[in-house]
Amino acid sequence: MKLKNNIDKLGAMGLFLTALFSPCCFPLFAFGASALGLGSIELFGGWTMWVFQAMVLISIIGIYISYRKHKCLYPLLITIPSGILIFFAYYLSKSENSTYLIYAGMFGLFIATIVNYYQNKQHGNCKTCGIYDGKTVELKSTITCPKCGHKKAEMMPTNACEFFYECENCKTRLRPLEGDCCVYCSYGSVKCPPIQVGTGCC
């Protein structure tokens, strides 16, 4: 859960670290690399641009996941054009100054990450979130009956695991599959709070 919430930050950090350790490809960062005693080292060699593009995708995916959870649109509106700018510079631009487009896209993703952080902090927890073991967890989970396919959204408790659940459509009494601690882990769209925070089954 913690990693999922920080994918956009990892992507943004990865962008700048890749650029910093590849001063030949990103001259703007050459001064910073020299200050760190890296000289003109190319850490990723011929893989630099592929690593950089992977970090761009990770950043975009992280912002999108955050949008799905918190519904904050502004970071996504900054992220999409920034990502398009970077890939345009790589694959479509024939200008010698395309590196500046990449820089603009990088800083756009960086700004989007900062805005996303403060937007999420300002809006607090989502409407269906709760606190478990000091961490924010999603409490809404849609249970799908394996017998009749009926779906129903339920709010998971944070003080106990539900071992039994009766389908309101076919009246089948569900119980966890082997290895699962509750019906939400077996049939729900979201795992139970202990699994989300990584403390194991309750």
- Residue 131's pLDDT band, with cuts at 50, 70 and 90, is confident
Question: How is residue 71 annotated by DSSP?
Answer: -
Q: Which residue has the higher pLDDT, 115 or 165?
A: 165
Q: Is the pLDDT of residue 148 over 90?
A: yes
Helix (H, G, I), strand (E, B) or coil at 132: strand
Among positive and negative, which fits the CA dihedral 172, 178, 182, 187?
negative
Please report the pLDDT score of residue 26 as a whole number: 67
Residue with tokens 């960062």: 29
Angle between helices 98-123 and 48-70 (to 10 degrees): 30
Spatial separation of the C-alpha atoms in residues 145 and 156, rounded to whole Å: 16
Q: Which residue has the higher pLDDT, 47 or 92?
A: 92
- Residue 3's pLDDT band, with cuts at 50, 70 and 90, is low
Spatial separation of the C-alpha atoms in residues 12 and 144, rounded to whole Å: 37
Write the pLDDT tens digit of every residue in 22-51: 656 666 665 555 555 555 555 556 677 888
Average pLDDT of 185-199?
90
- Residue 12's pLDDT band, with cuts at 50, 70 and 90, is confident
Burial degree of 147 (CB within 10 A; 0-12, 13-18, 19+) = exposed
**Non-local CB neighbours of 34 within 8 Å, separated by 6+ positions:** 23
Please report the pLDDT score of residue 40 as a whole number: 53
Q: Point out the least confidently predicted range of 31-35, 101-105, 182-186, 189-193.
A: 31-35
Domain spans of the chain, in order of start: 2-123, 129-197
Q: Is the pLDDT of residue 16 over 90?
A: no
Q: Is the pLDDT of residue 21 over 70?
A: no
Q: Point out the least confidently predicted range of 111-115, 121-125, 140-144, 160-164.
A: 121-125
CA dihedral 46, 51, 52, 55 (to 10 degrees): 180
Please report the pLDDT score of residue 80 as a whole number: 93
Q: Would you say 67 and 76 are in contact if contact means Cβ atoms under 8 Å apart?
A: yes
